[in-house]
Every structure is written in C-alpha cells, then in structure tokens.
Amino acid sequence: MSTGRLLPVLTALVLLATATPATAATTAGDHPDNWSAAWSVAHHHPVAGNDWFGANWSVPGFADESVRQVVRVSAAGSLIRIRVSNRYGSQPLRLTGATVGRTDAGAAVRPGTLLPVTFDRRRSTTVAAGTETTSDPVLLPVRALEALTVTLYFAGATGPATYHQDGLTSTYRATGDHRFDNRAAAFSGETSQSWYHLAGVDVAGSPRTRGTVVTFGDSQTDGYGSTPGADNRYPDQLAEQLVAAGRPLAVVNAGIGGNKLLADSPCFGERGVDRFRRDALGQPGVRSAVVLIGINDISGGGYPDFGCGASPTVTAADLIEGHRALIRAGRAHRVTLIGATMPPMKGWAGYSAEKEEVRDEVNHWIRTSGAYDAVVDLDRILADPADRDALRPAYDHGDFLHLNDAGATAAAAAVAARIR
C-alpha cells in the first residue's frame, strides 16, 4: 500500500482508538474541550492593496491557484486541524483541496511530511458565504513553536477573499495545483504579507496543552512595528515565554491593525464589541483573553472618512462602557479577562492634549475599577521615565506609538506575569 493510501487508514485507526463508548464516529477530537487553538488570525473585509501595506490579493481572490501559508503553532499536540473562513466572501468558497506539512524554509516543505487535509472525509469542500468550516483531524504530531505550512488549492474563481492585512509573514501563491509539491520553485513569484481564508490551526491529543490565551486588540497586538518574518509580535513572545517557563498554554493573536472598540471599518474590521465573541471567545479551548484596545477610537476621533469608515469622537465613558460589554461577554463564557492599559501615544499623529485626557481616564478605570479579573499596566511599564505620556524611546518603532521588538518583549513579559 502506498504512503498516500496508508496515511488516511492510520488516521482512522487513531480516531477509532479514541472513540467514546457511545459511538465510534465520535472521537476525542470531536469534543470542543479537547481542542485548543494554537494559531489563529482575525479576518476582515477584502480591500485593495496599497503602497503602505503592500500588495494583497483579497479583492480579485484566486482561480486555479495554490496559496501557501506558513504558521507557527504555539502549543503541542498529536492531532491538528485547520479552520477555513469565507466570513467576508460574496459567494460560496469552493476549496478543491488542502495539505499541511512541516515547514522547511520559505515556501518549501520538509520532504515526506505533506499530508492531505479532509473535510467530512472528503478532500474538497464548499464554505458558504459568511461562514467558516473546520477540517477533520490530521495525525501530525507537533511541538510548541513549530512552523507548519498549509497549502490551499482553488480550482475555480473564489471571488473576493476573506483575509487579514499586514500579517508580517510571507504568503505565497502559484498557478495550478501544488498542494503536494514540497519544493519552493513554483512559489517563487509575487509574495504577500497578508493571510487568506486560513482562520486557525488547532491542536489536540497532548495532555500538556491546557487551553488557549487569546490576545485581542488592534495593531499593538497585531504586531505592527515588530520585525516582519521574525515572530516577534508581543503575542508570539508571550507564547515563547510561557513555553520557556514550562507553562503549557497556547497563545493566539486576535489583533487587527486599525481596529476600534466602538466603530466598524471596511478596512480595519468590525468593531471590537461585536467581533470579540467570535474572534476571542469563539476560539477552541479559550480560557483567558488579554484585552488591549481603544487607542484608535481616541486618536482617530473626529477625523473625516477617508474611505475606511467614520471616526466619531469618543469620550472616556463611551470606551469604558465598551470594555464593560467585553467583560460581560467574557463572564458569560467563563473566560478570565485581563485588561491592559493603553500605552503612551504622545508624538503620534493622532495625539492631542484633549485625547490624552481620554486615554488617561480610561486607563485609570482599567487600573483601579476591579472590573477585569486582572490588569497589566502597559501604560506605566512602557512609558518614558522622563515623560510619562510618551513611549520609552528604546521601545519605540519610530512613530511614537507602535512597539519595536524590544517593546514587544517587555509587553509580553508583563502579560505573562498576569496569566494564571
């Protein structure tokens, strides 16, 4: 029997071995408590590429193309599964097939590790517009912080693609079906720094993995300012620090650059108070969420609509009520919520004395109200000792707001200390 035919048989045997007494079709992986999100991304509407964020393929979508995406899982497991999204599609998404394997370098996959991914035991699937689907379990043991390569092949036209802009990681595409091509040559053309249709990678089957920490927010969480391709976003470094400390928790990133707590944007995603239930509380195995959001509501308040949605002026009371809405939702799901104060922004293009007062008031409430289960005071930790309203220069990416790699390291250490 060939390796290609043997692998599905082995996978089926593993699943049958973990079946409950009630039915052989119900496996350990079918129970939500047994899966933990080990990599995830928050999606938003497709928008055209630009010089600032670089080329993206979201508006035209794909046709007879293979899309290869490299992800780093934050926790170990003996089984994995992938989630594919058509949340913002305008038509049914027909996925001809998918594979997963261990990453080699760039678009290359380690020989002998590519495995087919099935959906309801079929290699192809259709995802209705506005929905997401989850694959069958794949027998592929992974270690925490290991890189995996997922290749999606679309034979027909997808229409506009559900995606995440500014992923800080190279995504590759090639004409034709290259799912089982472990070489990088076919993917040597244009690359993108965005994620497409791939929503998550979950793990199961490891007694050491004890659930998922979701980091939720805007570009501070998404990682803008950190080194592209280096996995130096603060959530990435949080995962590294938890692994180094022997704390077997997965960490996933639900940040969207430009996202606001209270206002929708066609470019930067649904408002936080709405997407929190899906992007944070909807993650498999979620046990806690770190909330860092609101700076775009404050700094962008009062600006005209430049094509990415209105920016209404907000008060501290408005933002506090938005935070309370997140807390209520988290309580209902029995998820521990960690509130992070907003880092300094003096010198940022959206800064003003009046807006600083709003930031200070919201931060004071986060710090002292007791509304969150725990607080990480990034405002004080990341501030310049010589000017508490400004970001410490050693942590500044260069725009007075976003964190460089050193700033992300400091934020990750502060968050790690508050996770129980």
Annotate 366-407 with three-state secondary structure. Answer: HHHCCCCCEEECHHHHHEECCEEEEECHHHECCCCCCECHHH
Query: What is d(CA 128, CA 84) in angstroms, rounded to the nearest whole number?
Result: 11
- Using H for helix, E for strand and C for coil, what is the string for 125-176? EEECCCCEEECCCEEEEECCCCEEEEEEEECCCCCCCCEECCCCCCEEEEEC
Query: For the chain, what are the domain ranges?
Result: 46-200, 210-416
Alpha-carbon distance of 170 to 168, in angstroms, equals 7
The CATH H-level superfamily of 210-416 is: SGNH hydrolase (3.40.50.1110)
Token pair 């309370």 is at which residue?
324
- In angstroms, the CA 214 to CA 212 distance is 6
230-237 long-range contacts, CB within 8 A, separation 24+ = 230/405, 231/72, 231/169, 232/405, 232/408, 232/409, 233/168, 233/408, 234/403, 234/407, 234/408, 234/409, 234/411, 234/412, 234/415, 235/412, 236/72, 236/408, 236/412, 237/408, 237/409, 237/411, 237/412
CB 60 within 8 A of CB 173: no
| CA torsion through residues 257, 242, 283, 320, sign | negative
Distance CA 110, CA 184 (A): 11
Residues lower than pLDDT 50 in the chain: 1-29
- Please state the pTM of the whole predicted model: 0.92
Q: In whole angstroms, give the CA distance from residue 363 to residue 379.
A: 8
Q: How far apart are CA 113 and CA 61, in angstroms?
A: 28
The tokens describing 135, both together, are: 């694959």
pLDDT at 31: 57
Q: What Rg do the C-alpha atoms of the chain give, in angstroms? A: 21
Angle at 187 between CA 11 and CA 184, to 5 degrees: 65
Joined tokens for residue 268? 């930067």
Exposure letters 95-124 (e unless 16+ CB within 10 A, then b): bbbbbbbbbbebbbbeeebbbbbbbeeebe
pLDDT at 12: 37
End-to-end CA distance of the chain: 48
pLDDT value of residue 28:
43
In this prediction, residue 390 carries a pLDDT of 98
| Residue 396 amino acid letter | D
Interval 148-193: pLDDT, tens: 999 999 999 999 999 999 999 999 999 999 999 999 999 998 899 9
